[in-house]
Amino acid sequence: MERTLRLLGPFRQVLPLSRVPLRGAWRDEQLELIQEGGLLMKGERLEAVGPFDKLYRTYRSDQLEVVRLDEPLVALPGLIDAHTHLCFAGSRARDFAARNNGKSYLEIAAAGGGIWSTVQHTRNASQAQLEALLLPRLETLLASGITTVEVKSGYGLRVDEECKMLRAIQSVGQAQPCDVLATCLAAHMVPRDFDGTESMYLDHLLEALVPLVRKESLAQRFDIFIEKSAFSPAAATAYLRALKERGFDLCVHGDQFTVGGSAVAIACGARSVDHLEVSGEKEIEALAQSTVVPVALPGASIGLGCAFTPARRLLDRGASLAIASDWNPGSAPQGQLLAQAAILSCYEKLSAAEVWAGLTCRAAAALGRNDRGRLSEGLLADIVAFPTADYREILYHQGSMQAARVWKRGREVNFSS
């Protein structure tokens, strides 16, 4: 175990986000801001956070390694992308063109496009090919300051194919610095080659897939898409409750085109419900009274040309709010989380404090990971630094200001290779 203390800094500003609550509105004036700050690390965790000079005087000894930073930098907790579909093969450029020619998401799906198109491409790819496609996508996210990424299956829709995807996610996750959390989304839609009802398909997953996922430790999280083109609230409720009884964490694709998914997420004790573009006052109030974390996916709104998640109303009612990219080949191929979050903040009038919370500590809560998302003693030393002396510049540039340096579990990530 590494015992040497390493002092990193001085940063022009450090935003530890250690005092940000997990729920409700939060203004920039309430942000804790450390000028000329330092981060003291021991191994992969933070030992102390504070003014650089004070930390240096307090811990100065032969055991202290000082990593001095000469350029102006602002430090934040490593960003967390809590909802992605990065493991896939093929392209959905035809879907994009069809949408821009007036076809709806549901119409495209009914005509053979949408998720089923990606399923066919992904089934035709080997595990090695999926790994080769997934790795550079993860590297792109890590270079942008995202140190934890959730990646879903859901383009296999057969027991063997879903396991292939989850094994690919697991393999790539173990081979690079970014923490990868796999989610089983075998309940993405009823596959067209399955002979049976939605309930029969979900029962089949519980009987045939779930034991394999548990045996190989392929995922601890399960997701389901509740929508007219996917699964009904009633069928989804039975499936999720069965998974809950087996000890799995739950999340839900809900309220994207029609309402109903958020109510299921609340009733089943899911950690998060993601999308919520059509959530109304009833759904917002229910979420505010629950422990479920709403996750906004602005990339899908941009890609589909539809309304954004009602983020302002959710926060003002006292709900939490995480922000994720939904990077997928169909509705959200952009994958630029910071740009999406900045755009969402303009349309929904979110403070910088709310955006950064949604990309860090509140995203960590959506994933059930309380060891990250803040720069605080004892938490993981996941750090992103941007090349500026004022944190407000980062979102002001709406994604064009790139991360300058990234540390994952206390080690700086080298992107030169």
DSSP conformation letters of 10-48: EEEEE---TT--SSS---GGG---EEEEEEEEETTEEEE
- Whether 107 shows a pLDDT value over 90: the answer reads no
pLDDT tier for residue 287 given thresholds of 50, 70 and 90: very high
More confident position, 114 or 351 = 351
Task: Match 């000469």 to its residue by tokens.
Answer: 70
Q: Letter for the amino acid at 162? A: E
The share of the chain scoring above pLDDT 90, in percent, equals: 93
What pLDDT does 110 receive? 80
Mean pLDDT for 377-394 is 98
- Whether 388 shows a pLDDT value over 50: the answer reads yes
What is the distance between the alpha carbons of residues 79 and 77, in angstroms, rounded to a whole number? 6
Is residue 183 within 8 A of residue 251, CB to CB? The reply is yes
pLDDT tier for residue 415 given thresholds of 50, 70 and 90: confident
What pLDDT does 281 receive? 98
- pLDDT by residue (tens digit) across 44-58? 999 999 999 999 999
What is the distance between the alpha carbons of residues 147 and 363, in angstroms, rounded to a whole number? 12
* Lowest mean per-residue pLDDT among 81-95, 108-122, 203-217: 108-122
- For CATH 3.20.20.140, list the domain ranges present in the chain: 79-367
- Whether 1 shows a pLDDT value over 50: the answer reads no
Closest CA to 35 of 59, 16, 48, 19: 16
Half-sphere exposure of 109 (CA within 13 A, CB side): 17
What is the distance between the alpha carbons of residues 354 and 24, in angstroms, rounded to a whole number? 9
Closest CA to 165 of 136, 150, 185, 179: 185
CATH classification for the domain delimited by 5-77+373-412, as one of 3.40.605.10, 3.40.190.10, 2.30.40.10, 2.30.42.10: 2.30.40.10
Q: Are strands 293-296 and 322-323 parallel, antiparallel or unpaired?
A: parallel
Mean pLDDT for 6-23 is 97
Is residue 338 within 8 A of residue 97, CB to CB? The reply is no
Q: Residue 415 forms beta bridges with which residues?
A: none
Give just the sign of the alpha carbon dihedral 400, 37, 325, 28: negative
- Whether 14 shows a pLDDT value over 90: the answer reads yes
- pLDDT by residue (tens digit) across 301-357? 999 999 999 999 999 999 999 999 999 999 999 999 999 999 999 999 999 999 999
Residue 220: exposure state from Cβ atoms within 10 A (0-12, 13-18, ≥19): middle
- pLDDT by residue (tens digit) across 226-235? 999 899 999 9
Half-sphere exposure of 142 (CA within 13 A, CB side): 21
What pLDDT does 416 receive? 65
Which residues fall within 8 angstroms of residue 53, CB to CB, at 6 or more apart? 10, 36, 38
- pLDDT by residue (tens digit) across 157-180? 999 999 999 999 999 999 999 999
Backbone conformation region of residue 289, classed left if phi is above 0, alpha if psi is from -120 to 50, else beta: alpha
Q: Are strands 411-412 and 405-408 parallel, antiparallel or unpaired?
A: antiparallel
- pLDDT by residue (tens digit) across 342-364? 999 999 999 999 999 999 999 99
What pLDDT does 140 receive? 96
What pLDDT does 109 receive? 78
* CA distance readout (Å), 349 to 109, 111, 283, 285, 310: 33, 37, 20, 19, 10
* CA distance readout (Å), 279 to 268, 286, 300: 18, 10, 15
- Residue 45: CB atoms within 10 Å: 16
What is the distance between the alpha carbons of residues 373 and 401, in angstroms, rounded to a whole number? 21
What pLDDT does 2 receive? 52
CATH classification for the domain delimited by 79-367, as one of 3.30.70.20, 3.30.1360.200, 3.30.70.1450, 3.20.20.140: 3.20.20.140
25-30 long-range CB contacts below 8 Å, 24 or more apart? 25/315, 25/316, 25/351, 25/354, 26/315, 26/351, 26/353, 26/354, 26/357, 27/351, 27/353, 28/351, 28/352, 28/353, 28/392, 30/353
> Which stretches of 249-382 are assigned E, i.e. beta strand?
249-254, 272-275, 293-296, 322-323
Mean pLDDT of the chain, nearest integer: 96
- For CATH 2.30.40.10, list the domain ranges present in the chain: 5-77+373-412
